[in-house]
């Protein structure tokens, strides 16, 4: 383990542009912005209900319905092939059949990427990842469970750029945000905080920032010239905050004050991964003893043992997310563990697959189950449905969601005949809600 330089800062001064939703910042000049070929469609390809069939309904006596939310890219990005989406779509999801039925789409958010859904308040938090904005934002929406629509609550600036992750602490009182950051780390004219916490207002909106930090350092790869926080979440006991920083090959650990929402570097403030790993997403095993991080650049998953007393990690195992004979380019992306803790899955963009592993409950070690084609290009994100019987994969560059059956015994994935067409899908979230009349 090694210590990272974590510098607490106060919120950005009023001299820094703080309102990207009020006045859009100018785009980066052609000399500083990478060129790319992007095609932007005026309409996303979203499946709509077949009006020859009945509207979605629940079985008699059922008191719960399941909704699926899908965010999409709707603004040009230099590192995306295209941005064919419109906003955040809401679907009725049938857990028995795996069928999606379109309900509504919220189009008012710029490039809604990662989302977090508070299952208690039904507030949806969506980050806006917009190239050229000096400061990112998180937008809060209230989900109407009966209508399947989203109502705008508020937006909050995030003290840093390219906002890529948001989550809530276990009390639901505070939001935690990670900023990937596109600006140069020595540019003191721009907000440079990579992690920050915000209070959740009574209406579910976010208040002014409470605490924030910048991370120093870099890694050996060309994409690691500065800090790039990509994930932030509290530990299951709400005592620590874990941050995966792709740019500096570290997991940063903060102590979290659940009363005030403040973060402070832990006594051992970081855990170092192999140089050039590029940690992207992280997940705790349901038992709490083990944790796993997927490395975007190295295309690996690292199994860790977590000490909940002091917030430290011990490396147990490193496995590749790719087949041994694959030699092409790849960026690993998303990571999820089955609710029963028996299986873990990671997505590969390049190999375009989902890697499945079984988890040894005693040692935390992983054993390969297999690789399943995502049946599309760049599976950026995926989700296991609430029943655990299906997986839905967002194929970013194929404008599609693909649906797989999950074998409850082996954890293997089997493609179904179902597919949902939707422009540049980026994040999929499920939420069970009370059915109308229940």
Residue owning tokens 């170092």: 272
pLDDT in tens, 361-412: 999 999 999 999 999 999 999 999 999 999 999 999 999 999 999 999 999 9
CA geometry: angle at 102 spanning 98 and 106, to 5°? 130
Share of the chain above pLDDT 70, in %: 84
pLDDT in the model for residue 62: 59
User: What does the CA dihedral 80, 81, 87, 90 come to, rounded to 10 degrees?
Assistant: -110
Query: Pick from 1, 7, 71: which is nearest to 265 by CA?
Result: 7
Query: What number is the average pLDDT over the span 59-86?
Result: 81
Give the span between the Cα atoms of 422 and 424, in whole angstroms.
7
Question: What are the Cα distances from residue 44, in Å, to 52, 217, 400?
Answer: 23, 40, 11
* Full-model pTM: 0.86
The answer to whether the beta carbons of residues 143 and 90 sit under 8 Å apart is yes
Give me the chain's average pLDDT, please: 87
pLDDT in the model for residue 437: 65
Element (H, E) at 334: strand 331-337
pLDDT in the model for residue 435: 82
The answer to whether the beta carbons of residues 425 and 395 sit under 8 Å apart is yes
pLDDT in the model for residue 73: 85
Query: What number is the average pLDDT over the span 226-245?
Result: 98
Task: Return the minimum-mean-pLDDT range out of 130-134, 246-250, 258-262.
Answer: 130-134
Residue 85 CB contacts under 8 Å (≥ 6 apart), including other chains: 44, 71, 72, 73, 74, 422, 423, 424, 425, 426
Query: What number is the average pLDDT over the span 336-345?
Result: 98
Is the pLDDT at 333 greater than 50? The verdict is: yes
Is the pLDDT at 13 greater than 60? The verdict is: no
Share of the chain above pLDDT 90, in %: 77
- pLDDT-derived band of residue 80, with 50, 70 and 90 as boundaries? confident
- pLDDT-derived band of residue 81, with 50, 70 and 90 as boundaries? confident
Highest mean pLDDT among 7-11, 21-25, 184-188, 386-390: 386-390
pLDDT in the model for residue 133: 83
Cβ neighbourhood burial of 5 (10 Å; 0-12, 13-18, 19+): middle
Q: Which regions of 163-320 does DSSP assign to beta strands (E)?
A: 163-168, 174-179, 195-199, 211-215, 229-234, 240-245, 250-256, 263-272, 279-284, 290-295, 300-307, 312-320
pLDDT in tens, 157-202: 999 999 999 999 999 999 999 999 975 545 666 788 999 999 999 9
- Could you give the domains of the chain? 64-434 (2.130.10.10)
Is the pLDDT at 438 greater than 60? The verdict is: no
The answer to whether the beta carbons of residues 428 and 88 sit under 8 Å apart is no
Is the pLDDT at 63 greater than 90? The verdict is: no
User: At 200, is the secondary structure helix, strand, or coil?
Assistant: strand
- pLDDT-derived band of residue 14, with 50, 70 and 90 as boundaries? very low
Which residue would you say has higher pLDDT here, 144 or 73? 144
Phi, psi angles (nearest 5°) of residue 83: -135, 90
Give the span between the Cα atoms of 142 and 148, in whole angstroms.
10
Query: What number is the average pLDDT over the span 240-268?
Result: 99
Query: What number is the average pLDDT over the span 247-272?
Result: 98
Beta carbons within 10 angstroms of residue 108's beta carbon: 13
pLDDT in the model for residue 171: 98
pLDDT in the model for residue 211: 98
Query: What number is the average pLDDT over the span 418-435?
Result: 95
Query: Pick from 126, 134, 237, 115: which is nearest to 184 by CA?
Result: 134
């Amino acid at each position: 383990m090694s210590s990272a330089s974590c510098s607490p800062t106060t919120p950005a001064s009023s001299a820094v542009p703080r309102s990207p939703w009020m006045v859009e910042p100018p785009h980066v000049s052609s000399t500083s912005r990478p060129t790319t070929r992007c095609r932007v469609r005026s309409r996303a390809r979203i499946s709509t209900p077949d009006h020859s069939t009945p509207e979605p309904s629940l079985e008699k006596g059922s008191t719960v319905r399941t909704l699926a939310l899908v965010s999409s890219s709707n603004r040009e990005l230099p590192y995306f092939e295209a941005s064919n989406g419109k906003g955040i779509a809401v679907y009725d999801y049938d857990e028995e059949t795996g069928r999606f039925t379109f309900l509504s789409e919220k189009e008012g958010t710029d490039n809604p990427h990662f989302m977090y859904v508070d299952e208690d308040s039904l507030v949806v938090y969506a980050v806006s990842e917009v190239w050229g904005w000096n400061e990112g934002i998180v937008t809060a929406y209230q989900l109407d469970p009966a209508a399947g629509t989203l109502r705008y609550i508020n937006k909050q600036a995030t003290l840093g750029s390219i906002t890529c992750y948001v989550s809530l602490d276990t009390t639901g009182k505070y939001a935690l945000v990670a900023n990937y950051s596109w600006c140069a780390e020595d540019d003191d004219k721009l907000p440079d905080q990579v992690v920050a916490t915000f209070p959740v207002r009574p209406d579910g909106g976010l208040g002014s920032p409470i605490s924030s930090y910048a991370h120093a350092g870099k890694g050996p790869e060309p994409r690691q010239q500065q800090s790039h926080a990509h994930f932030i979440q509290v530990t299951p006991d709400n005592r620590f905050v874990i941050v995966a920083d792709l740019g500096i090959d570290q997991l940063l650990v903060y102590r979290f004050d659940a009363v005030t929402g403040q973060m402070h570097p832990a006594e051992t403030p970081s855990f170092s991964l192999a140089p050039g790993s590029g940690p992207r997403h992280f997940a705790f095993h349901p038992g709490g003893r083990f944790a796993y991080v997927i490395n975007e650049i190295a295309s690996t998953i690292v199994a860790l043992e977590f000490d909940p007393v002091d917030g430290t990690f011990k490396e147990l195992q490193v496995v590749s997310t790719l087949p041994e004979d694959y030699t092409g380019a790849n960026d690993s992306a998303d990571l999820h563990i089955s609710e029963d803790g028996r299986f873990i899955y990671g997505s590969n963009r390049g190999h375009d697959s989902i890697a499945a592993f079984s988890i040894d409950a005693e040692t935390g070690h992983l054993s390969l189950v297999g690789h399943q084609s995502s049946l599309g290009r760049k599976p950026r994100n995926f989700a296991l449905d609430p029943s655990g019987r299906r997986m839905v994969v967002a194929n970013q560059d194929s404008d599609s969601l693909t649906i797989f059956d999950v074998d409850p015994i082996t954890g293997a994935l089997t493609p179904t005949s179902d597919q949902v067409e939707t422009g540049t899908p980026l994040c999929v979230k499920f939420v069970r809600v009370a059915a109308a009349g229940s």
